[in-house]
Amino acid sequence: MCAYARNAARHAASVRATLVSFLVVGVALFAYAQLVMLSAIDALNALTVILFAILYLAVGVAFPNPSAPGEAQFMWRLAAWFTCGVAFALHIAFEHVRFREPPRRVALHAAIAVALGALGLAGAANIHRLTAGTGNKQLLALALVLWPIITGVPAFVVALAAAAGLARLRSMRQRRRTCQG
């Protein structure tokens, strides 16, 4: 098989993995939306979580990962981390300012979005393993459970600290306004 055919096959496998990972996240998001409807959480909050989860998945899939370690690989990974970090901060700020949610709820929504994005990436990695014939089957199956936990728990802690700080700033501003007025 010529190099062009191998590259075309790898690209097709990557596209299939991406589509299936979006399907996996779609199913998870549908389940989350059902839980939202049952617990009477605002649908706009659920939509925000869904959109940020899709953004995390898209960044993880769309940003290239050069095969040769070096400066190019480092820069692409740094760009992906930076993009996700900005999105994470925007999600926290948006929920705090727009919805005026308490810190725990802001942190929970941000962590769920991160965990769902990680679940989608784990699904993409598993599909890629199936189509490309590479990777460790057991470790990638374990990734479906571990990646959402490994990303979601720290995201909750960081988002809780950030949201609590934002809530404290808001209460300090309100106190200043009442003292001045």
Give the residue among 50, 108, 139, 121 at the shortest CA–CA distance from 80: 121
Q: What is the pLDDT of residues 142-167, one digit of tens each?
A: 998 999 999 999 999 999 999 999 99
Run of H or E including 89: helix 71-94
Asked if residue 40 has pLDDT above 60, the reply is: no
Q: Which of 32-46, 65-79, 120-134 is least confident?
A: 32-46
In the structure, what pLDDT confidence band is assigned to residue 17 with cuts at 50, 70 and 90?
low
165 phi and psi angles, rounded to 5 deg: -65, -45
Mean pLDDT of 82-109: 94
In the structure, what pLDDT confidence band is assigned to residue 6 with cuts at 50, 70 and 90?
low
Do 73 and 65 meet the contact criterion of CB atoms below 8 Å apart? yes
**Residue 134: helix, strand or coil by DSSP?**
coil
Cα 25 versus chain centre, distance: 10
Q: Where are the domains of the chain?
A: 3-180
- pLDDT attached to residue 34: 66
Secondary structure letter of residue 15 according to DSSP = H
- pLDDT attached to residue 132: 81
Give the residue among 96, 104, 105, 110 at the shortest CA–CA distance from 169: 96
